[in-house]
Amino acid sequence: MNFILKNWVKYYTKEVAKALKISAFGAIIIIAVIAIKYKPVYKVDLNGEDLGYIKSKENLELKITDYMNDITGNIAFKEQVAIPSYKLAFVNRLQDYQEDEILTAIEDSTITTYRTYAVTVDGNIQTSVSSEEDANSIVDEMKAGVDEKIDLGVGIIEQYTTEFDVQSKEEASGILNSIKVAKVEEYNKIQEEKRKKEQEEARRKIISQKTVQSVGTIAGISLSKPISGGIISSRFGSRSSSRSSTHTGLDIAIASGTPVAPIAPGTVTFAGYKGSYGNLVIVNHGNGIESYYAHCSEIYCSVGQHVDSKTLISAVGSTGNSTGPHLHLEIRENGTSLNPENYLY
């Protein structure tokens, strides 16, 4: 019995060994076939999207690390919002690797934040440049030649953005120069308006403080002098040979800007520029009496306005046919010129 059992064990042991040899040989053949036809790769997935195959996981990770650490130029920092996953796979040896495409996809999914420098005017961003040096240079150019009293309201702020949108130094300078010109023009306009207002207030004050003193009458109308001071520089009537025309008024020389008031209450019938008269104001006093005030530098009244002997109607000047600042005063009765000197001076 033992003999039979030994023979049986011996037989089946040989058979098992034989089967194992056959299986091992088959496995070797299968591995050889796989090794010849297929290759091991890593399948890369990003946010559930299959990106392709790579040969080396370590090599790709190294390139990703290098990309993330590259913060040269205007790059402030990078944020990798999606992490790739890897899965070992066997593919046909003819299958190409997609490492460059995969790396590009990973870079595209990364959020890059840039550091730029914005130039502001009155707190509003007007332009952005890539360097603080350029920003300072542009601001210095904007301030150059500008009166310190003019507040340009210009400043620089460091800003962080995911959109790298900057102008060249030349483009930025052009933008700010336009703003500079507008600011200077606005300042000058305000100062000019302020100056005129102060002058007008001063003139009105002079007129308001004027003591109206009747110095003559015509057609029952009391008259007062139109200006305080001055000297007669050209009288009414015939002129010398150099100017053969008859002088229809009286010229009173005095500083330009001196306030002018009408010689009597009345209504303004003309206020504007008229030929050799220059800036001219005509006032109708009734009873056929009119008065003319010519060569004015400024006119402060309008047609239809009622005025009296303390109303500021104009300022002495030298407009029209004039050789210097003076008031040309005419008095007319029913259209006929009268000598003002007979009634006022």
CATH of the domain at 266: 2.70.70.10
Residue 183 pLDDT > 80: yes
Residue 200 lies in a domain: no
Same domain? For 160 and 73 the reply is no
Q: Of 108, 140, 170, which residue constitutes the final position of a domain?
A: 108
Residue 133 lies in a domain: yes
Residue 205 lies in a domain: no
Residues in Cβ contact with 255 at an 8 Å cutoff, skipping those fewer than 6 apart: 316, 325
pLDDT (tens digit, 9 = 90+) per residue, 64-121?
999 999 999 999 999 998 899 999 998 888 889 999 999 999 999 999 999 999 999 9
Residue keyed to tokens 């003002």: 340
pLDDT in the model for residue 5 = 54
Same domain? For 303 and 324 the reply is yes
Using an 8 Å Cβ cutoff, are 103 and 63 in contact?
A: yes
Residue 236 domain boundaries: 216-342
Residue 185 lies in a domain: no
Same domain? For 268 and 318 the reply is yes
The band of 15, judged by pLDDT with boundaries at 50, 70 and 90, is: low
* Count of structural domains within the chain: 3
Residue 29 lies in a domain: yes
Residue 142 lies in a domain: yes
Other CB atoms within a 10 A radius of the CB of residue 322 amount to: 16
Mean pLDDT within 233-250:
76
Same domain? For 222 and 316 the reply is yes
Residue 148 lies in a domain: yes
Listed range (214-223, 241-250, 274-283) with the worst mean pLDDT? 241-250
pLDDT in the model for residue 200 = 74
Say how far apart CA 189 and CA 78 lie, in whole Å: 50
Mean pLDDT within 271-294:
97
Instruction: Report the interhelical angle of 57-69 vs 99-108 (nearest 10°).
Output: 40
Mean pLDDT within 167-183:
94
Same domain? For 21 and 80 the reply is yes
Residue 127 lies in a domain: yes
